[in-house]
């Protein structure tokens, strides 16, 4: 699902979004301000902390970026497998 984080669209699943909300309660929404960039699909392309932030926020954003890319690769592999199965 796509959600808005720091005025950017972010591809995030329900469990990840619940954890994001917990981090916002703990550290405030400003912890995510100007922390990362996303592409048009909502995938994080770069994590660029410009201020001191909590480690759990950094780890969450990096983990989210990795998960997004793993999900994207899984979709690509599934599409290739489907295409190969049709031949």
- Bigger pLDDT: 4 vs 84: 4
For the stretch 30-79, pLDDT in tens is 999 999 999 999 999 999 998 999 999 999 999 999 999 999 999 999 98
Compute CA distances 7 → 19, 41, 68, whole Å. Answer: 18, 14, 18
- Closest by alpha carbon to 75, among 24, 11, 9, 32? 11
pLDDT of amino acid 70: 96
Residue 83, token pair as written in the block = 């295409």
Q: Provide the H-helix boundaries in 1-87.
A: 14-27, 55-86
Distance in angstroms (rounded) separating the CA atoms of residues 72 and 35 = 22
Whole-model pTM?
0.86
The pLDDT of residue 87 is above 70: no
What length is written for the chain?
Answer: 87
The pLDDT of residue 86 is above 80: no
């Amino acid at each position: 699902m796509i959600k808005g984080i720091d005025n950017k669209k972010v591809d995030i699943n329900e469990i990840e979004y619940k954890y994001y909300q917990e981090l916002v309660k703990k550290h405030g929404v400003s912890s995510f301000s100007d922390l990362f960039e996303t592409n048009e699909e909502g995938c994080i392309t770069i994590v660029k902390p410009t201020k001191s932030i909590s480690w759990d926020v950094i780890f969450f954003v990096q983990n989210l970026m990795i998960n997004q890319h793993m999900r994207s690769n899984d979709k690509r592999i599934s599409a290739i497998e489907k295409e190969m199965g049709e031949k």
